[in-house]
Amino acid sequence: MAASPAAALAPAGLELRFAILDIYAAYAACLDEQRYNEWPDFFVDDCIYRVQPRENFDRGLPLATLAFESKGMLRDRVYAITQTLFHAPYYQRHIISGIALQAQRADGYDVTASYLVLRTKQNEPTEVFNTGRYVDVLEWQDGELKFRSKLAIFDSELIANSLIYPI
Protein backbone atom coordinates (compact mmCIF):
# COMPACT_ATOMS: atom_id res chain seq x y z
CA MET A 1 0.00 0.00 0.00
CA ALA A 2 2.72 2.42 0.98
CA ALA A 3 4.39 1.69 -2.35
CA SER A 4 1.35 2.81 -4.33
CA PRO A 5 1.90 6.36 -5.56
CA ALA A 6 -1.80 7.23 -5.51
CA ALA A 7 -2.27 5.97 -1.97
CA ALA A 8 0.89 7.72 -0.83
CA LEU A 9 -0.15 11.01 -2.38
CA ALA A 10 -3.66 11.12 -0.97
CA PRO A 11 -2.78 11.31 2.72
CA ALA A 12 0.17 13.56 1.91
CA GLY A 13 -2.31 15.88 0.25
CA LEU A 14 -4.53 16.04 3.29
CA GLU A 15 -1.61 16.38 5.67
CA LEU A 16 -0.28 19.18 3.48
CA ARG A 17 -3.61 20.94 3.77
CA PHE A 18 -3.40 20.83 7.56
CA ALA A 19 0.24 21.90 7.47
CA ILE A 20 -0.88 24.96 5.51
CA LEU A 21 -3.70 25.70 7.96
CA ASP A 22 -1.19 25.32 10.78
CA ILE A 23 1.35 27.82 9.48
CA TYR A 24 -1.35 30.48 9.18
CA ALA A 25 -2.54 29.76 12.71
CA ALA A 26 1.02 29.92 14.03
CA TYR A 27 1.79 33.09 12.07
CA ALA A 28 -1.28 34.83 13.45
CA ALA A 29 -0.58 33.68 17.00
CA CYS A 30 3.04 34.89 16.77
CA LEU A 31 1.91 38.39 15.82
CA ASP A 32 -1.10 38.58 18.11
CA GLU A 33 0.95 37.43 21.10
CA GLN A 34 3.57 40.02 20.19
CA ARG A 35 6.40 37.53 19.78
CA TYR A 36 7.79 39.77 17.04
CA ASN A 37 11.29 38.32 17.25
CA GLU A 38 9.91 35.04 15.94
CA TRP A 39 8.11 36.65 13.01
CA PRO A 40 11.04 36.59 10.52
CA ASP A 41 11.42 32.85 11.06
CA PHE A 42 8.19 32.25 9.19
CA PHE A 43 10.03 33.31 6.03
CA VAL A 44 12.87 31.95 3.90
CA ASP A 45 16.02 34.08 3.66
CA ASP A 46 15.36 35.69 0.29
CA CYS A 47 11.71 36.37 0.97
CA ILE A 48 9.30 39.03 -0.16
CA TYR A 49 6.88 40.68 2.27
CA ARG A 50 4.61 43.46 1.12
CA VAL A 51 1.58 45.23 2.50
CA GLN A 52 -0.14 46.99 -0.37
CA PRO A 53 -3.47 48.66 -1.09
CA ARG A 54 -5.75 46.68 -3.33
CA GLU A 55 -6.08 49.45 -5.89
CA ASN A 56 -2.34 49.44 -6.49
CA PHE A 57 -2.07 45.68 -6.58
CA ASP A 58 -4.92 45.29 -9.05
CA ARG A 59 -3.45 47.93 -11.36
CA GLY A 60 0.05 46.51 -11.14
CA LEU A 61 1.37 49.65 -9.46
CA PRO A 62 4.42 49.08 -7.28
CA LEU A 63 3.62 51.46 -4.44
CA ALA A 64 3.32 49.56 -1.16
CA THR A 65 2.87 50.61 2.46
CA LEU A 66 5.55 48.16 3.54
CA ALA A 67 7.95 46.33 1.24
CA PHE A 68 10.76 44.08 2.43
CA GLU A 69 12.92 41.81 0.33
CA SER A 70 14.88 39.63 2.71
CA LYS A 71 14.70 38.11 6.13
CA GLY A 72 17.29 40.67 7.21
CA MET A 73 14.90 43.48 6.34
CA LEU A 74 12.19 41.76 8.37
CA ARG A 75 14.57 41.65 11.32
CA ASP A 76 15.28 45.35 10.87
CA ARG A 77 11.57 46.00 11.00
CA VAL A 78 11.24 43.99 14.21
CA TYR A 79 14.05 46.05 15.71
CA ALA A 80 12.28 49.24 14.68
CA ILE A 81 8.89 48.33 16.09
CA THR A 82 10.27 46.95 19.34
CA GLN A 83 13.14 49.40 19.96
CA THR A 84 12.98 52.63 18.00
CA LEU A 85 9.53 53.50 16.63
CA PHE A 86 7.54 55.86 18.81
CA HIS A 87 3.94 54.71 18.82
CA ALA A 88 1.06 53.96 21.12
CA PRO A 89 1.03 50.20 21.63
CA TYR A 90 -1.96 48.20 20.53
CA TYR A 91 -3.03 44.59 20.41
CA GLN A 92 -3.74 42.88 17.13
CA ARG A 93 -6.07 39.95 16.55
CA HIS A 94 -5.88 38.12 13.23
CA ILE A 95 -8.90 36.25 11.94
CA ILE A 96 -7.89 34.32 8.84
CA SER A 97 -10.32 32.32 6.73
CA GLY A 98 -10.69 30.80 3.30
CA ILE A 99 -7.15 29.44 3.26
CA ALA A 100 -6.96 27.95 -0.23
CA LEU A 101 -4.25 25.99 -1.97
CA GLN A 102 -4.40 27.57 -5.42
CA ALA A 103 -1.58 25.78 -7.21
CA GLN A 104 1.32 23.47 -6.62
CA ARG A 105 4.63 24.53 -8.13
CA ALA A 106 7.77 22.47 -8.52
CA ASP A 107 9.18 24.08 -5.38
CA GLY A 108 6.20 25.32 -3.46
CA TYR A 109 2.58 26.30 -3.22
CA ASP A 110 0.44 29.28 -4.12
CA VAL A 111 -1.91 29.94 -1.24
CA THR A 112 -4.48 32.69 -0.74
CA ALA A 113 -6.59 33.59 2.29
CA SER A 114 -8.81 36.35 3.58
CA TYR A 115 -7.77 38.16 6.73
CA LEU A 116 -9.28 40.55 9.21
CA VAL A 117 -7.09 42.28 11.75
CA LEU A 118 -8.76 43.82 14.77
CA ARG A 119 -6.96 46.38 16.88
CA THR A 120 -7.32 47.10 20.56
CA LYS A 121 -5.68 50.18 22.00
CA GLN A 122 -5.31 50.55 25.73
CA ASN A 123 -8.62 51.43 27.40
CA GLU A 124 -10.45 51.48 24.10
CA PRO A 125 -12.89 49.04 22.56
CA THR A 126 -11.69 46.65 19.90
CA GLU A 127 -12.10 47.96 16.36
CA VAL A 128 -11.77 46.71 12.80
CA PHE A 129 -8.27 47.70 11.74
CA ASN A 130 -7.49 46.13 8.40
CA THR A 131 -8.96 43.55 6.05
CA GLY A 132 -7.74 42.06 2.86
CA ARG A 133 -6.31 39.08 1.11
CA TYR A 134 -3.04 37.23 1.55
CA VAL A 135 -1.45 36.22 -1.74
CA ASP A 136 1.38 33.94 -0.67
CA VAL A 137 3.96 31.46 -1.87
CA LEU A 138 5.03 28.77 0.58
CA GLU A 139 7.80 26.23 0.38
CA TRP A 140 9.36 23.53 2.51
CA GLN A 141 12.63 24.31 4.23
CA ASP A 142 14.19 21.68 6.50
CA GLY A 143 10.83 20.04 7.05
CA GLU A 144 8.95 23.24 7.85
CA LEU A 145 6.67 25.34 5.68
CA LYS A 146 7.93 28.90 5.21
CA PHE A 147 6.74 31.91 3.29
CA ARG A 148 8.82 32.67 0.24
CA SER A 149 6.50 35.54 -0.53
CA LYS A 150 3.68 37.08 1.43
CA LEU A 151 1.54 39.91 0.14
CA ALA A 152 -1.14 41.46 2.32
CA ILE A 153 -3.44 43.24 -0.13
CA PHE A 154 -5.75 45.42 1.92
CA ASP A 155 -9.17 46.76 1.05
CA SER A 156 -9.06 50.27 2.54
CA GLU A 157 -6.35 52.85 2.02
CA LEU A 158 -7.16 54.58 5.27
CA ILE A 159 -4.92 52.49 7.49
CA ALA A 160 -1.59 53.19 5.88
CA ASN A 161 0.05 55.68 8.19
CA SER A 162 -0.94 53.99 11.43
CA LEU A 163 0.30 50.55 10.52
CA ILE A 164 3.10 49.65 12.90
CA TYR A 165 3.08 45.89 13.43
CA PRO A 166 3.13 43.32 10.63
CA ILE A 167 -0.12 42.13 9.13
Please give the Cα distance from 2 to 146 (Å, whole number). 27
Give residues with Cβ within 8 angstroms of 128, minimum separation 6: 116, 118, 119
Closest CA to 90 of 119, 70, 118: 119
Q: Does 118 bind a copy of itself (CB under 8 A)?
A: yes
41 in contact with a copy of itself (CB under 8 A): no
Strand 144-154 to 127-141 pairing: antiparallel
> Given the complex with a copy of itself, which of 80 and 128 has the nearer CB atom?
128
**What is the distance, to the nearest Å, from the Cα of residue 40 to the centroid of all Cα atoms in its chain?**
11
In eight-state DSSP terms, residue 162 is G
Please state the closest distance from residue 114 (CB atom) to a copy of itself, in A. 6
Binding mask 85-114 for a copy of itself (x = CB under 8 A): ------x-xxxxxxxx-----------xxx
SS3 content of the chain, % helix, strand, coil (to 5): 35, 40, 25
Does residue number 22 form part of the binding site for a copy of itself (CB under 8 A)? yes
Which residues 120-159 are close enough to bind a copy of itself by CB under 8 A? 120, 123-128, 130-133, 155-159
- Site residues (vs a copy of itself, CB under 8 A): 1-2, 7, 10-11, 14-15, 17-18, 22, 24-26, 28-29, 32-33, 54, 91, 93-100, 112-114, 116, 118, 120, 123-128, 130-133, 155-159
